[in-house]
Structure 1
């Protein structure tokens, strides 16, 4: 009897150790649409990753951890890690497409989607553009007001090139350059906030009143443009995670 009891205790101990430890789980996401760059967030352990172009990912997890799968194209899905996932260190998840249905509104003529057919069915004259009257035009990205002012200050905007000299002496050119940089940071920050804030704050909780202040804190970093402009969501999330730790430390030092 003592031997049996000892064996049971050893078994229970090993069982507890096995399922309490964090393991690396390999997973795969299946979907009828794009499976790359889906956010995989372990809300319990506060770690995250994203899927590759095959929908594959790896993430650390323990028994009963909550893992959230989300992307703009898919319906969010929450999974609780069970014993089989820990034992086999594998998980397979099927995601459904996010469908945003709008009330049907028909205004004017019904278009078929066939460009040649729809052009014939639309009444009215086509608008005149600069090509019709032989005037050269610009078809690139429209410049912001600050960018137009900076161009005028540095090139003279086609007039006698005295403006660049006067503006350089007065400091106006430097001021306009700083304004353009600030607008670039603001636009990038707002883009990241709109795209990633929901997923980021799932695993990095922050009071609602402080969230906007946090993103301005990130944008003030001298490396913000370097690490966030034209980078993948995964790299941006790593940067945000790093700034989150700094932000929380600042809050503690200020007694908040």
Structure 2
């Protein structure tokens, strides 16, 4: 009798686990619209940054994508401000979920430029001038200073890269976020994401997918002997392929050490 009860409990536990697994990953459907006109938007790129999956909206602005609660969806459309949305339970419950994108013309109107007004009195003007929060670095023995910028995660590696072997810099850059760098292969396998990257030149989608800064991308390619012309003119898909190639070479070099 005890055996039967144990088997029954295990079976129920297995069913509960299966149902929980199913709930974790579901198909999310929604509609993308223009925030100003409420008209649906066709061919909007939708990327699940957590699962590295992509899709585009149809003629009615509709899309479906595999997602879980708390996944982050990234929306990109030419002429509109890119947007990130966190997936919630309500988005699965209600099938009429609408995602609004703002046209860049309207988004730019929200930017307020505040000029510095000088009075001509030094004591007053000095207090009103902005403080430069960029970090300064210097290397002992070299009469050179480096300005790394404000809150720059690659500040130290940029300085060290001036005197270390390029492979050492690559080890620092790739070693910081190994999980994100594994996404390189996943990104290359998804046609929707590849199409999106082929049309982009601003590196925004790449930084969101790989969770690295634009300066990291430049550092990686600079130390893999890619020209400045290529780095500045290549589309995001070409940059992705270059990073992937560079990463594979780095792993080979790292194994030999």
What TM-score range do you get, normalising by the shorter chain?
0.3 to 0.5
Bigger Rg over Cα: 1
TM-score, normalised on structure 1? 0.43
